[in-house]
Amino acid sequence: MQRTSVHRVGEQRWVRWTLICLALGLTLLLLVMPLLLIFVEAFSGGAQTWWANLTDYYTLRAIGLTLLVAALTVPLNLLFGVFLAWLVTRFEFPGRKLLITLIDIPFAVSPVVAGLLYLLLYGSNGWLGGWLMQHDVQLMFAWPGIVMVTVFVTCPFVARELIPLMQQQGREEEEAAVVLGASGWQLFRRVTLPNIQWALLYGVVLTNARAVGEFGAVSVVSGNIRGETNTLPLHIELLYQDYNAVGAFTSASLLAVIALVTLLVKSFVEWRQARQRAPLHEQQEQG
């Protein structure tokens, strides 16, 4: 471990400090200042105005709808994510790679196109929508449509977090548990879940962050009825177009807090995983 005599690239003092200052400057300009601006604008009328804006009837309705959307989307995608990750990391079958690529589609597709896909299918002119209309079921321009597109947009997050981790951990522990007579549910709860719980948590938090913040897809299928089908991001757009910047930033500050919590959870999860892995590395180096 004698590395003191030889340096690595970019370790001279001036290079190091120039690059660090550049990176810090860019972080400040690109990330910190925008974040700061949200809160400065939201509180520009004082805390009382902020509170009044937040407890405005339409804002509260928007918060309520946004919570409903998240409450329905997150469990659904949690279930899907776990089943899919289990399938592609624990079994070999033809089409496995294709399936992994397919679930990335929502990441690649423009949110507006995502909204349009659902509108075409379930809208009153759509081939499923027409039939639903005859049975008095309206999905588009109502909250069920908002939930459906949000499920589409957020479905890869849990699976994407779980797949690399479960692949790395391998299936030996689980196979041993089966040999020892564990049932499927016992196996998942006692062996798999403890191994993946932190990645699962981060996947859920990411799904939630995107679910409460989705704009493009929701805006296509919502119909923008104030107090009825307006989620928080759509409400922000409405307020902004009404030249109520303080009101818009008040709702934005709420979503920014959710974003910050997401980042905190991510840091925490990475710290936990590093700690879980650390003893393993030491053993390997000694062995």
Partner 1 sequence: MNTKRGSLLPRLTSHPGKRVLPGFALSMGVSLLFVSLVLLLPISGLVVESAGMSWAQYWAVVSDERVVASYRVTLWAALIASLFNGVVGLLLAWVLVRYSFPGKRVVDALMDLPFALPTAVAGITLAALFAENGWYGQWLATLGIKVAFTPLGIIVAMSFTSLPFVVRTVQPVLEDLPVEDEEAAISMGASDWTVFRRILFPSLWPALMTGIALSFTRSLGEFGAIIFIAGNMPYVSEVTSLMIFIRLQEFDHAAASAIASVVLLASLILLFGINLWQARYLRRLHGR
Interacting positions 82-141 with partner 1 (CB under 8 A) = 83-84, 86-87, 90-93, 99, 101-113, 116-121, 123, 125-128
Please tell me the chain's helix, strand, coil percentages from 3-state DSSP, rounded to the nearest 5.
Answer: 80, 0, 20
Q: How many CA atoms lie within 13 A of 279 on its CB side?
A: 3
Q: Which is nearer to partner 1, 1 or 47 (CB)?
A: 1
Q: Minimal distance in Å, beta carbon 99 to partner 1?
A: 7
Rounded to a whole number of angstroms, the minimum distance from the CB of residue 265 to partner 1 is 10
Smallest gap from Cβ 74 to partner 1, in A, equals 15
* Residue 236 near partner 1 by CB under 8 A: yes
Where does residue 43 rank: exposed (0-12), middle (13-18), buried (19+ CB within 10 A)?
middle
Distance in Å, CB of 107 to partner 1, minimum: 8
Establish if 252 lies at the interface with partner 1 (CB under 8 A). yes
Q: 238, 224 in Cβ contact below 8 A?
A: yes
Count of residues that interact with partner 1, criterion CB under 8 A:
115
Q: How far is CA 82 from CA 47, 113, 206, 261, in A?
A: 42, 27, 15, 23
Site for partner 1 in 162-181 (CB under 8 A): 163-165, 167-172, 174-175, 178-179
| Contact positions with partner 1 (CB under 8 A) in 20-59 | 20, 22-24, 26-27, 29-35, 37-38, 41
Query: How many other CB atoms are found less than 10 A from the CB of residue 31?
Result: 10
